[in-house]
Structure 1
């Protein structure tokens, strides 16, 4: 499968439908498969967390782009600019300013190396519909107390024939107990909401032990499904400002959101200094964990 690298992190430029086809492929193959949903925070954290970096690049079977920041970066980095130093710096800086200022229009009217953003909050619904259609059982792990249970109830109400193998609002500290519960449930797909990078690290260490074919880290998606938090209106999401809507809802996310300007500046400086931070790789075979 083709993959794109931004700041050294592999991303798979697939559509929503193509991602579901990969899940179907994983469900019938031998082994256990980790699916990650990287956004800007993932990329920034991975620069300083070698274990997380290794998981995203070497153990994840599928990295789905869940963040408008990565869509922007893939377009900006693909822009051509003059090779002469002075012109390169001026034109690149202008491109950077315009691409950020006109982001909603750019996302709507232009195409880039990454076809679309696959939000975890949307993907969880698609995964559960896929599971119902293919008679696969889903286990929900993580979230605040009762959130996983409420999420399961909403999903089963909305999706006909969805089989929830079990729920557990545990934490990574309860690993042995959690593994036993999941294994006994005979679940096929494990959805984990510990938050990044805890959920990815936990899945890397324990997915195969649970007996599940597919493990997906979905962060705060349970909260949206359960109704704990309200999701941004569709027009806000399409304009690329869901992050701002969430910040207004949860001011405590302010320090986490500092990753966004830091990422944008890092991308600009890297392009100005000709650092090799963006490339499209040839198809390669990605194996099981």
Structure 2
């Protein structure tokens, strides 16, 4: 992976909610917020001025950040990093910094953002995935909620491997489409790490206030990919459901369920025996 070193300036935003409790994992501060508190914080970011990167950090993203210091710098510099995944919650307890308010998944947060858009009078732009999936996602929201504000969609950009500092005609077309409608929130489905790298590299060119990578969220909301039943998600077995329904995700599931916990335990052992510098 080739990544240009990036520094994201601190925003200096002061939140009326007060600073959240933080779990520090692999050099990244992860906020302990409920879904309701997350929405409130996003609204404060939106109204505070400036531009903000928001990350829902699951074990795969955190592993990618651990393996690639430059990507870790991008995630660590985000305005808000949330705990997405039972593995992150369990890690917080093992490390003695429990995230007690639960995880905020990308799927739940995206649905809450769109649902809230009409009431709070902000606009949302959906990008990435395919035209069919974006259409079905929009139809899902329109059928479920009477007052939403999705102002645009773009499915044309296909990114197999993204390197910061690289642009092309499709990227410029996406930027143009976004800036024509000036959305408050951009939800980008390129998958990690591409979506975060793209956002950080182009945020200053975009007329948006909040940019968030959403991975495969639109696949689930559109019904194109089945989501695990709620009870499986609650007890932490969503990975098993995904393995059965999406066997091609095997290596990613191994990362999330075996490699990630191993690194967490290794970090705990190092701290116990004062092995870290």
Per the alignment, residue 172 of structure 2 pairs with 176
Indicate whether 1:267 and 2:254 are aligned: no
2:195 matches 1:195: no
Which residue number corresponds to residue 76 of structure 2? 57
The residue that corresponds to 2:110 in the other structure is: 124
> Separation in 2 of the partners of 1:272 and 1:29?
41
Partner in structure 2 of residue 138 of structure 1: 124
Secondary structure at the aligned position of 1:78 is classed as coil
Q: Deviations over 1:96-131 (max 9, x none)?
A: xxxxxxxxxxxxxxxx33421111111111001221
Q: What TM-score, normalized by structure 1, do the two folds share?
A: 0.80
Is the 1:10–1:56 Cα contact (8 Å) retained in structure 2?
no
Q: Which stretch of the first structure deviates more once superposed, 48-57 or 193-202?
A: 48-57
Q: Structure 2: where are the runs of 5+ without partners? A: 1-18, 160-167
Per the alignment, in what secondary structure is the counterpart of residue 212 of structure 2? strand
**Does structure 2 conserve the Cα–Cα contact (< 8 Å) formed by 1:3 and 1:12?**
yes
- Contact 2:116–2:148 under 8 Å retained in 1: no
Q: Greater CA deviation, 175-184 or 127-136? A: 127-136
Displacement of 1:26 after TM fit?
1.3
Task: State the shift of 1:3 in Å.
Answer: 2.3
Range 175-184 or range 161-170, more displaced: 161-170
Tell me what 1:287 maps to.
none
Aligned residues of 1:182 and 1:210 also touching (Cα < 8 A): yes
Please, which moves more after superposition, 218-227 or 145-154? 145-154
Greater alpha carbon shift after TM alignment, 227-236 vs 1-10: 1-10
Is the CA contact 2:140–2:221 (under 8 Å) kept in the aligned structure 1?
yes
Aligned pair count? 245
In 2, Cα distance between equivalents of 1:158 and 1:210: 30
Distance in 2, Cα, partners of 1:179 & 1:273: 45
Aligned-pair CA distance for 1:78: 1.2
Structure 1 counterpart SS, 2:208: coil
Partner residue in 2 for 1:16 = 35
1:206 and 1:215 map into 2 onto residues whose CA distance is 10
Q: Any idea what SS the aligned residue of 2:95 has?
A: helix
Q: How does 1:5-84 map to 2 (within 5 A)?
A: 5-58=24-77, 60-78=78-96
Partner Cα separation in structure 2 for residue 254 and residue 8 of structure 1: 27
Q: Once superposed, which parts of structure 1, at least 4 consecutive aligned residues long, lie more than 4 Å away? A: none
Match of 2:229 in 1: 233
Structure 1: how far apart are the matches of 2:145 and 2:203? 25
Distance in 2, matches of 1:187 and 1:274, equals 44
- Write the distance in 2 (CA, Å) between the matches of 1:186 and 1:126: 20
Aligned-pair distance for 1:39? Answer: 0.8
User: Which structure has greater helix proportion?
Assistant: 1
* TM-score in terms of structure 2 length: 0.84
What is aligned with 2:133? 147
Deviations 1:212-232 (A, max 9, x none): 111111111100111101111
1:257 equivalent among 253, 257, 265: 253
Secondary structure of the corresponding residue to residue 250 of structure 2: helix
